[in-house]
Structure 1
Amino acid sequence: MSDITVSRRSALGAIAGLGASAALAGSTTAQGKSAGLTSMQRIEAWELGERKGIASLRRASRPQPLPGPGQVLITVRASALNNRDLAIVSGGYGVRPRPATMIPLGDGVGVVTALGADVTGFNIGDRVSCPHFVNWLDGRYDPRVLEQDLGSSTDGWLADRVVRPAASLVRVPDELSDVEAAAMPAAAVTAWFTLQQFAQVQAGETVLTLGTGGVSVMALQIARMAGARVVITSSSDAKLERMRALGAQITVNYRTHADWEKRVLEATDGRGVGVVVDTVGGSSLDRSLACTAPNARIGLIGALDGAISTTLRPVTLRNLLLRGITSGSRRTLEDVLRAFAANNIKPLVDRVFPFAEAPAAYEFLKSGGHVGKIVISHA
């Protein structure tokens, strides 16, 4: 298949202009037509609609997107949900307005179908993914990455075909299936950034991770990969049993034990934990701080309970390091995919829904009955 040739722009402009890719759908070049791709073709996609809840999701037929300079057209094979997707479809998560036509979901994987001008390093047929912040390639966090946040500030993965900046893409290792790879861009990247890049977890340390959602389970797997001891919490004994099968040495039911931080201290002989992956935030942070060891590192991933109430006195008394975590870069995704593949570790996917049943996947996420990730198959 030949490349699609369009007018030249810089690679940076291609990344910054990702949201404008639909404007290219109105024209093709002779080479584009010979590649079998035209703006007259249609794709199926899910759209956010009026953002009044899951019922607002709507299925739509849209023009075939075409890649501009520095961009790649991808046929999507699988996409995955995160907790933020519930907030987005319900009108929350950020303050900027979103069009009803926006395609949701920040996680996905697919196959390269066509290359825009100036694209090198990728071939037709390559399996690829990217971080949901498509313009965060490496280095430190910059708030400007929010301008190109898949499924939040620009179109996401819940469609037949999507256009992505080539610079944002990583190849998916053969050891990971489409469903497994789709589950990783947000949750695995966030967990890897927290444990490896921020906390620099060491073998023999004790890591506490809260709940059994996507980030928490990925954190368990990454911590065990590093040789750490893992404590994990849940309100379900059945879920905790599954976590023990994944390698958690200490499990605490926070519904049975409301003072779960005391149980964590008892289980660590009063020493506390060296690293906390706090995916709840808000009111749980007090308890997370209460069961830390001196010099512990706490990664604050979210505030899912909506509450912000804590005393930071232990941060000073025990010389703790507290950091907010906002996902990670393309480089981080590349690192965590490589690590899972090299260690033959599979992300835990609870359930896979067909593309036509995307709203049911949202409902299952909302129910809280899942363990790990929920994926949508586009096959």
Structure 2
Amino acid sequence: MKAIKINLPASLLNLEVVDLPDPGQPGSGELRVRLRASSLNFHDYAVVTGKMPTDQGRIPMADGAGVVEAVGDGVHEFKVGDHVFSCFFPHWNEGEPAIGDFSTTPGDGVDGFAQEVVVKPSHWFTRSPGGFTHEQASTLTTAGLTAWRALVVNGGLKAGDTVLVLGTGGVSIFALQMAKAMGATVIATSSSDEKLKKVKALGADHTINYRKQPEWGREVLALTSGRGVDHVIEVGGAGTLPQSIIAGRIGGHIALIGVLTGGVGEVPTAALMAKQQRLQGLIVGSRQHQKDLVRGLEAMGIKPVIDSIFALEDIAKAFAHEESGAHFGKICLSF
């Protein structure tokens, strides 16, 4: 079967297409899944380019979606023919997070889903939403679930809330779609006027070009009559957090999801304290969160925004497209 491996030193030039032995039939508690799609995330990019070190020969990609081909003894949740997608933390089933690293994350600490067939314990997967293509389902493992946990699980989003989404990456677009479907007002930022037109078409109520308005926190306050937003989808990290604190309301919620502007930096702690805001870091979510996400998406009728689809063997071209920043929505691999 076809697979992708990372050769060290990791780079887009050192991604190799290989043939691996078929993994065979599932044992007790396992599934055999014919993978059909994956989707790219910043975390995957960091792994394949060496920014987040991994082992020689690692199979990348945390996201995977496909069809159950066989079930082992004791598996009652799935049957042959079911459409499923992978869990980012296969061993975090429910409850409070108990994992603070990526040692169990497919495509990083263990082999991922850039391969045609896997045999894994059944708790590595959940059912895909009805009516989703495999490409659409593959976008949910990381980006979709992160947005869901930020807004619904941690944020307690409700109709009438205001949400600020930074940029137009996968998590931010999912957050925009979910927030609008649940009756919230959404403000979106980008450095591209063309992308701001696209988020407007997706339902964003207000847009801000942060290159033209570097003090965009003040602009958010103006758009909310001085109150500030209830929720911030903070994907930038240290470089954007000061403006996010300004943009948030007193007692508001800031979901710290990404570190696109760097892993360390100064935090205006006095401003955070004065506004009595809740700054909460998060990494994706549990298997139970994922099952709740599936039910939520089916109820809301949301479908992911997909920018482009590449063949598995063109994975380096797909990451180069992500690297360019030209995409809008998710980039997928189709097997």
Question: What's the TM-score once normalised by structure 2's chain length?
Answer: 0.96
CA distance in 2, matches of 1:324, 1:104: 24
Equivalent residue pairs, number: 333
How big is each residue's C-alpha offset from its partner over 1:20-64, in whole Å with a ceiling of 9 and x where there is no partner? xxxxxxxxxxxxxxxxxxxxxxx1100111143111111111111
User: 1:122-133 residue pairs with structure 2 within 5 A?
Assistant: 122-133=78-89
* Aligned residue among 59, 64, 72 for 2:22: 64
1:350-365 pair list within 5 angstroms: 350-365=307-322
Say whether the 8 Å CA contact 2:106–2:113 is kept in structure 1.
Answer: yes
- Which residue, out of 137, 152, 158, partners 1:181? 137
Give the gaps of 5 or more residues in structure 1. 1-42
Alignment check: 8 A CA contact 1:276 1:297 kept:
yes
User: Given that residues 6 and 14 in structure 2 are in contact (C-alpha distance below 8 angstroms), is that contact kept between their aligned partners in structure 1?
Assistant: yes
Gaps of 5+ in 2: none
Q: Mean Cα displacement is larger for which, 164-173 or 102-111?
A: 164-173
> For residue 202 of structure 1, what is the aligned residue in structure 2?
158
Question: Mean Cα displacement is larger for which, 257-266 or 62-71?
Answer: 62-71
Residue in structure 1 matched with residue 292 of structure 2 by the alignment: 335
Distance in 1 between residues matched to 2:171 and 2:163, nearest whole Å: 13
Is residue 35 of structure 2 the alignment partner of residue 79 of structure 1? no
Q: Give distance in 2, aligned partners of 1:266 and 1:90.
A: 40
1:249-285 deviation per Cα after TM superposition (whole angstroms, max 9, x unaligned): 0110011111111111111111111111101111110
Partner in structure 1 of residue 180 of structure 2: 224
User: 1:145 and 1:308, CA in 2 relative to 1: closer, same or farther beyond 3 A?
Assistant: closer
Identity rate, percent: 36
Change (3 A) 1:108 1:262: same
Distance (whole Å) between structure 1 residues aligned to residue 62 and residue 146 of structure 2: 13
Q: CA offsets per residue over residues 157-192 of structure 1, 9 Å max, x none?
A: 111111222023211122211111111110110110
Task: Give the aligned residue type for 1:315.
Answer: L
1:375 aligns to 2:317 (yes or no): no
Q: Contact conserved, 1:130 with 1:330, CA < 8 A, in 2?
A: no
3-state SS of the aligned residue for 2:140?
coil
For residues 106-137 of structure 1, the C-alpha deviation after alignment (integer angstroms, 9 at most, x for no partner) is 01101111223332221111111121111111
- Superposition deviation, residue 145 in structure 1: 6.9
1:107/1:157 contact within 8 Å kept: yes
Counterpart CA distance in 2 for 1:145 and 1:332 is 18
Amino acid at match of 2:168: T
> Which position in structure 2 is the counterpart of 1:317?
274
Matched, 1:136 2:92: yes
The answer for the alignment partner of 1:49 in structure 2 is 7
Query: C-alpha displacement at 1:144, in angstroms?
Result: 6.3
Residue 283 of structure 2 is aligned to residue 326 of structure 1? yes
Q: CA deviation at 1:69?
A: 2.6
What displacement does 1:356 show?
Answer: 2.2
Assess, with a 3 A threshold, how the Cα gap between structure 1 residues 188 and 146 changes in structure 2: closer, same or farther.
same
Pick closer, same or farther for the CA change 1:77–1:99 going to 2, 3 Å. Answer: same
The answer to whether the 8 Å contact 1:175/1:344 transfers is: no
Corresponding residue for residue 209 of structure 2 = 253
Tell me if structure 2 keeps the 8 A contact 1:70–1:117: yes
Q: 1:265 to 1:367 in 2, by over 3 A?
A: same
* Contact 1:47 1:102 (8 Å CA) reproduced: yes
1:186 counterpart SS class: helix
Per-residue deviation at 1:243? 0.4
Decide which moves more: 70-79 or 166-175: 166-175
CA distance in 1, matches of 2:282, 2:190: 21
Evaluate the alpha carbon distance shift between residue 144 and residue 263 of structure 1 in structure 2; reply closer, same or farther with a 3 A threshold: closer
Larger-gyration structure (1/2): 1
Deviates more, 1:115-124 or 1:269-278: 115-124
Q: Could you tell me how far apart the structure 1 residues matched to 2:28 and 2:225 are?
A: 59
- Give runs of aligned pairs for residues 230-241 of structure 1, distance below 5 A: 230-241=186-197
Would the aligned equivalents of 2:23 and 2:118 in 1 still touch at CA under 8 Å? yes
TM-score normalised by the chain length of structure 1: 0.85
Which deviates more, 170-179 or 293-302?
Answer: 170-179
1:299, distance to aligned residue in structure 2 (A): 0.5
- 1:335 maps to a residue whose letter is D
Quote how far apart the aligned CAs of 1:346 are: 0.7
Tell me if the contact between 2:47 and 2:54 (Cα under 8 Å) persists in the aligned partners: no
Ranges of 4+ aligned residues in structure 1 off by more than 4 Å:
none
